[in-house]
């Protein structure tokens, strides 16, 4: 394969992800206005790309996006352009709800109750066909951007087939696939139907660089890829050889943009919301959690651990409020809906058992409101981040960047963020309710000096990396595999 003319650092960037940085809607005056997309991916990539020569290709989710789709649109006040892939609604359902979030999400986060779930049949076959076609539609749109010899950055489990499909359309393309999630171990991945598993692996191997949040997930990927015919894997060298091409498997842990989050926290609205949070606290200690409402976040066990804490440490009854800010997520998928219902029921039950007229132990708010979360970050005494498994978990970094109250972080050892923040946090096994309850107790009792020391360590570690360095690491890796000609 001939070398590219320019280094990846100097080349235009084309990002592809299911959810875009903005979504277009018509306002009352009939004008198309852009609304910020939700989720961690947008938080990380949005900030870093705004100032760059970049095109962001995403699936159309609103009628406004569909209108913008054919030609794309430049974002107001930014150098960035957005383009949308118009996937018919019924296909989108099989691709996004069925395969991406109903199946791959569960596989990579180890969420199945294996004696009962999953079972695959005709429905999975149809949904898989939708997933293949949605990925193909992305690949075609991306190929149409190939004239300027860009670097393609393909995001996440929604688009695992795109690198290979794009390579077939544009053989010389420079492609990186990045997973924001964990990647399932070889044995667990074998739960998937064999075609889905091997197509997904081969699809990702279409890239020059396959990126993960942590080294262990890259190794999981290579251990599974090693089983494919005609793929040669060298685990030590983090490398696979496919069709005469070298594929590098690397880790690029994501980071949070301090500027954006501090700006949000200094807004007038955040100021007003802080007053609301203080009302909820009512002079008590504040325990906080901020999550998308979905099973990998382990919200239910978080509530059960809090219940155990109130049972064991009766002296804290009436003196602490657990504020849970949960944004609705993927409610079309029954397993997510059921999980949300179970979380609410647990909170109601605990409130009924322990609450008093002037004290609600768990205050649960299901809302999509980033500024509210940022406002709550300012003054928590302790924050619970206890995912079952998580690629990184940005909340674990956002909280300490904003918190000015010596807030303690209770952190799952299974969150990617643990590698960066673990030594300053209280570490927990997310399945161990006793350990989590004890950590809550320890956090609330911690002497001020230790709280301050830990909080400073958390903030330093969260600020040591930026989305810009994360992106630069990926571009450097592309250059190593596809060395420019000069
Ligand atoms: O954590 C994985 C991820 O895909 C992120 O990259 C993304 O921001 C988040 O989940 C949100 O998911 P959704 O777009 O389904 O709301």
pLDDT tens for the chain, 486 residues long, are 767 888 999 999 999 999 998 889 888 888 888 887 777 788 788 777 766 679 999 999 888 999 888 788 888 777 788 999 999 999 999 999 999 999 999 999 999 999 999 999 999 999 999 999 999 999 999 999 999 999 999 999 999 999 999 999 999 999 999 999 999 999 999 999 999 999 999 999 999 999 999 999 999 999 999 999 999 999 999 999 999 999 999 999 999 989 889 999 999 999 999 999 999 999 999 999 999 999 999 999 999 999 999 999 999 999 999 999 999 999 999 999 999 999 999 999 999 999 999 999 999 999 999 999 999 999 999 999 999 999 999 999 999 999 999 999 999 999 999 999 999 999 999 999 999 999 999 999 999 999 999 999 999 999 999 999 999 999 999 999 999 876
**SS3 of 286-316:** EEEEEEECCHHHCHHHHHHHHHHHHHHCHHH
Ligand 1 proximity of 40 Cβ (cutoff 6 Å):
yes
Question: What is the pLDDT, as a whole number, of residue 40?
Answer: 78
* φ, ψ (nearest 5 deg) of residue 387: -60, 150
C-beta separation of 228 from 198 below 8 A: yes
Does the beta carbon of 156 lie inside 6 Å of ligand 1?
A: yes
**pLDDT for the residue 51:** 62
Q: Is 111 exposed, middle or buried (0-12, 13-18, 19+ CB in 10 A)?
A: middle
359: three-class secondary structure by DSSP? strand
Residue 263: left if φ>0, alpha if ψ -120 to 50, beta else—which one?
A: alpha
Give me the torsion for CA of 58, 62, 63, 68, rounded to 10°. Answer: -30
Residue 24 Cα to ligand 1 midpoint, Å, equals: 19
Residue 40 CA: nearest ligand 1 atom is 8
Which 8-state DSSP code applies to residue 101?
A: I
Report the alpha-carbon distance of residue 243 to residue 241 in Å, rounded: 7
SS3 content of the chain, % helix, strand, coil (to 5): 50, 20, 35
Sign of CA dihedral 140, 145, 151, 156: negative
For residues 212 and 389, give the distance between their C-alpha atoms in angstroms, rounded to a whole number.
Answer: 14
Ligand 1 nearest atom to the CA of residue 390, by list position = 1
The burial class, CB within 10 Å (0-12 / 13-18 / 19+), for 230 is: exposed
Could you tell me if the CB of 20 is within 6 A of ligand 1?
Answer: no
- For ligand 1, say whether the CB of 294 is within 6 Å of any of its atoms: no
Query: For ligand 1, atom 11, which residue shows the shortest CA distance?
Result: 39
pLDDT tens digits for range 314-339: 999 999 999 999 999 999 999 999 99
- Give yes or no for residue 414 CB within 6 A of ligand 1: no
> pLDDT digit string (tens) for 72-97?
888 877 778 899 999 999 999 999 99
């Amino acid at each position: 394969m001939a070398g590219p003319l320019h280094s990846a650092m100097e080349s235009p960037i084309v990002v592809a992800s299911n959810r875009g940085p903005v979504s277009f809607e018509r306002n009352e005056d009939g004008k198309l206005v852009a609304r910020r997309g939700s989720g961690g991916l947008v938080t990380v990539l949005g900030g870093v790309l705004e100032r760059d020569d970049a095109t962001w290709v995403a699936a159309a989710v609103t009628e406004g996006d569909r209108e913008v789709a054919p030609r794309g649109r430049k974002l107001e006040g930014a150098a960035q352009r957005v383009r949308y892939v118009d996937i018919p609604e019924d296909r989108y359902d099989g691709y996004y709800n069925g395969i991406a979030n109903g199946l791959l999400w569960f596989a990579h986060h180890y969420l199945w109750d294996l004696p009962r779930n999953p079972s695959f049949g005709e429905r999975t076959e149809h949904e898989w066909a939708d997933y293949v076609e949605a990925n193909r539609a992305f690949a075609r749109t991306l190929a149409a951007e190939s004239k300027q010899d860009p670097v393609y950055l393909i995001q996440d489990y929604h688009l695992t087939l795109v690198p290979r499909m794009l390579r077939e359309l544009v053989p010389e393309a420079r492609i990186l696939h990045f997973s924001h999630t964990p990647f399932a171990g070889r044995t667990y991945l074998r739960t998937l139907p064999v075609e889905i598993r091997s197509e997904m692996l081969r699809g990702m191997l279409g890239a020059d660089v396959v990126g993960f949040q942590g080294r262990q997930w890259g190794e999981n990927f290579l251990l599974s890829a090693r089983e494919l015919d005609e793929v040669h894997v060298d685990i030590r060298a983090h490398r696979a050889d496919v069709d005469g091409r070298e594929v590098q498997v690397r880790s690029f842990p994501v980071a949070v943009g301090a500027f954006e989050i501090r700006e949000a926290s200094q807004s007038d609205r955040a100021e007003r919301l802080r007053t609301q949070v203080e009302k909820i606290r009512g002079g008590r200690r504040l325990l906080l959690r901020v999550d998308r409402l979905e099973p990998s976040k382990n919200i239910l066990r978080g509530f059960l651990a809090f219940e155990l804490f109130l049972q064991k440490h009766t002296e804290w009854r009436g003196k602490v409020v657990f504020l849970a800010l949960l944004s609705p997520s993927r409610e079309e998928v029954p397993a997510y809906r059921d999980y949300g219902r179970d979380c609410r029921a647990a909170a109601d039950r605990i409130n009924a058992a322990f609450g008093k007229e002037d004290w609600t132990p768990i205050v649960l708010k299901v809302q999509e409101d980033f500024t509210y979360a940022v406002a709550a970050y300012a003054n928590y005494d302790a924050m619970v981040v206890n995912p079952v498994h998580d690629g990184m978990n940005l909340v674990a970094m956002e909280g300490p960047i904003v918190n000015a109250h010596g807030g303690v972080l209770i952190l799952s050892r299974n969150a990617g963020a643990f590698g960066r923040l673990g030594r300053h946090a209280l570490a927990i096994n997310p399945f161990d309710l006793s350990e989590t309850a004890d950590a809550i107790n320890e956090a609330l009792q911690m002497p001020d000096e230790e709280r301050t020391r830990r909080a400073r360590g958390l903030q330093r570690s969260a600020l040591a990396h930026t989305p810009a360095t994360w992106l630069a690491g990926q571009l450097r890796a592309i250059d190593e595999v596809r060395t420019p000609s000069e």
